[in-house]
Amino acid sequence: MTISIAIVVCSIVVLVLLIRLARRQYIVARRQENPADQIRSVDIEAFRNLIDPHEEQYLQERLPAAEFRKIKRQRIRAACDYILCAAHNAGLLLSLAEAARHSPDPQVVAAATRLIDNAVRLRLYALQAIPKLYIALWLPVGRRSHVALADRYETMVRHVVLLGLRYPAGSISSAL
């Protein structure tokens, strides 16, 4: 019974935080005229290196235990930063894609729909990945690879480029 109550309370807290985050993103996106000004740079190759389990194993084999734990925590924090930037970019691209969905060109509408789908999935995945990474900071458990997030981000960038070819997206695709 106590566990059920704790789960319900945690769910309500997470829901409230998500609603506040969504409202803040909506307000920020509405205030800014050019979404390209808010795009945060994400180095996919650096992110892939941070989440690569083979790289982590290599470091663990070569470094003393205390130094490895310190570097692992730094790598997890950096991975969280990359994920937050990718989720932020996905939110901005959602507003761009939503505007493009009203285009009379069916190809633009299809590209915008795919971009929306990928952006929403990326944000949901980020919402799941961040708590897992923070738990990995405190508990010395094996870390699950988040390669799917990097793949999803690359797919989203390709859709932005495709949409930019058919719909004036400004400098957004180059900023990603």
On whether both 16 and 86 belong to a single domain, the answer is no
On whether both 132 and 147 belong to a single domain, the answer is yes
On whether both 18 and 94 belong to a single domain, the answer is no
CB atoms within 10 A of CB 15: 10
Q: How many Å apart are CA 61 and CA 87, to the nearest integer?
A: 33
Burial class (CB within 10 angstroms; exposed 0-12, middle 13-18, buried 19+) of 142: exposed
On whether both 76 and 10 belong to a single domain, the answer is no
On whether both 79 and 139 belong to a single domain, the answer is yes
- Expressed as residue numbers, the domain containing 129 is 36-175
Q: How many domains does the chain have?
A: 2
Predicted pLDDT at 173:
47
On whether both 170 and 127 belong to a single domain, the answer is yes
Q: How many Å apart are CA 128 and CA 144, to the nearest integer?
A: 12
On whether both 110 and 96 belong to a single domain, the answer is yes
Predicted pLDDT at 76:
87
Provide the token pair at 169: 């997206």
**Cα–Cα distance list, 125 to 49, 131, 148 (Å):** 19, 11, 9
Query: Using one digit for the tens of pLDDT, what is the confidence trace for 37-70?
Result: 677 778 888 888 888 888 888 998 999 989 988 9
Q: How many Å apart are CA 144 and CA 167, to the nearest integer?
A: 37
On whether both 107 and 121 belong to a single domain, the answer is yes
Query: Using one digit for the tens of pLDDT, what is the confidence trace for 89-117?
Result: 888 888 888 888 888 888 888 888 888 88
On whether both 49 and 5 belong to a single domain, the answer is no
Q: How many Å apart are CA 113 and CA 95, to the nearest integer?
A: 12
On whether both 79 and 164 belong to a single domain, the answer is yes
